[in-house]
Amino acid sequence: MRIGILTGGGDCPGLNVVIRAVVRMGIRYGYEIIGIKDGWKGLIEKSYIPLDMDSAAGLLPRGGTILGTSRTNPFKSEDAKEKVVENVKEIGLDCIVAVGGDDTLGVANKFFKLGIKIIGVPKTIDNDLSGTDFTFGFDTAVSIVTEALDRLHTTTEAHHRAIVVEVMGRHAGWIATYGGLAGGADFILIPERPFDIEDICDVIKERGKRGRYFSIIVAAEGAIPKEAMGVISKDAKADAFGHVRLGGIGEYIAEEVEKRTGIESRHVVLGHLQRGGSPTAYDRILATRFGVKTVELIREGKFGRMVALKGNSIVDIPLEEGTKKLKLVNMDIYRIAEVFFG
Ligand code: F6P
C-alpha cells in the first residue's frame, strides 16, 4: 500500500503531528508513505518525498508543515485536474490523505467522486468545519489569544485606553468567543452577530462610570459593523477559492471608539501569530488521534470519509458531510461570554 499525504490551505499547529501519526502507524502496517509537497500543487507538479521513521522524528512540537502548503485549487483548470489524476497513477499512490479545511477537503471530495481513494483530515484554527466538534489548531490559537489579552490588559489599564484586538475568524467567531471568554474581554464581536458601534461605546462609557477606565474589545476579522453592511477588507483580490483577504476591522473600531467617546484607543492585529509555533498538548493529542484513525480507515478500505471528533470519540463521516456547511459559533457559549461584557 502506497499512501500519499498532503497538507493544504492555511497552515495550523498540529499538521506535523498528523503527518507523524500517519507515518508511524502506516509503517507499523508495512505501508509506504509519500509526502506530497505544497498541497494539491504537489500533485499537479509531481513534487513529492518519501517519508520514513527519520522524517517523522521531532514533529510533535513543530508548527507549520514539513510538506509545505498552498491554496492551489486544481479544479480551476481542466489541465490541472487531469494532471492530478494522471500523477496519482504515475507516482503509484493507492490512496491519498488530504489534511485541510473546507477548500482542501472540498477538492478531496471531488477527486473521490472521480475515483481516487481519499481520506480527509479536518484542520483549521478557525474551528468552522461542521462535521467535527473541534479541529486541531484551534486550541493553540485560543491559547495565543488568551496570553495576548492577559498582556494587553496591563498596558491598556495603565494608560486608561480602549484596545481592540483583531483575531482570525473569517466566517465564524470561534477564536474570538473562546479567546475573549478566556482572556476576559469586555466585548466580543463575531461575524454571526453584526454589531452596532454605539453599543460598544456605551459599554466603554458605562465601565468608566464604575471606575474602570480601560476596555478590551475582541473582534473577529469577519465581524460586521451594521453601518458598513459587510465585512471590512483591505484587499479586494481573491485567492483560488474566491476568498478576499480580510483585515481592518480592529483599526476601524478603534478609530470610531476614539471619535465617539473621546477615549484614547489602539488596535492590535494578532494575525498569523495565531497560526504559528508549537501546538498545545490538546492539539497534539487530537491530531495524533486523527492520524491514527486515518490509517485504520485505510486498513479497513473505508475511503471517501473524513475523521472527526464527536464528543470524546474519534469517528468517521462521509467526506461530503464534513465540508457541507460552515459551523457557526454555538450561541450558548456566546451567551456565557456575554455575561461578562461591560
Ligand atoms: O486558515 C484560515 C485563516 O486563518 C482565516 O481565519 C484567515 O482569514 C486566513 O486563514 C488568512 O490566511 P492567509 O495565510 O492567506 O493570510
Per-residue pLDDT reduced to its tens digit, 291-308 = 999 999 999 999 999 999
Which residue type is seen at 199? Answer: D
- Under-70 pLDDT residues of the chain: 229, 236
Sorted by where each starts, the structural domains of the chain and their CATH numbers stand as: 2-136+279-322 (3.40.50.450), 138-276 (3.40.50.460)
In sign, the C-alpha dihedral spanning 113, 118, 123, 127 is positive
> Cα of 318 to ligand 1 centre, how many Å?
25
Question: How many residues does the structure list for the chain?
Answer: 342
pTM for the whole thing? 0.95
DSSP-based three-state secondary structure for 236: strand
Best residue for ligand 1 mutational test, from 275, 326, 327, 329 (most atoms within 8 Å of Cβ): 275
Q: Tens digit of pLDDT for each residue in 226-277?
A: 987 677 777 767 788 878 888 899 999 999 999 999 999 999 999 999 999 9
Establish whether residue 26 lines the binding site of ligand 1, counting it when its CB lies within 6 angstroms of any ligand atom.
Answer: no
CB distance 125 to ligand 1 below 6 Å: yes
| d(CA 304, ligand 1 centre) in Å | 26
pLDDT at 244: 81
Per annotation, catalytic residue among 102, 103, 126, 139: 126
pLDDT at 229: 67
User: What is the whole-number distance in angstroms between the Cα of residue 170 and the centre of ligand 1?
Assistant: 8
Counting other chains too, the contacts that 325-330 makes at CB distance below 8 Å and 24 or more residues apart are: 325/130, 326/102, 326/128, 326/129, 326/130, 326/171, 326/172, 327/127, 327/128, 327/129, 327/130, 327/172, 328/128, 328/171, 328/172, 328/192, 329/172, 329/173, 329/174, 329/177, 329/190, 329/192
Catalytic (active site) residue 94 = no
Q: What are phi and psi of 175, to 5 degrees?
A: -65, -45
| Per-residue pLDDT at 236 | 67
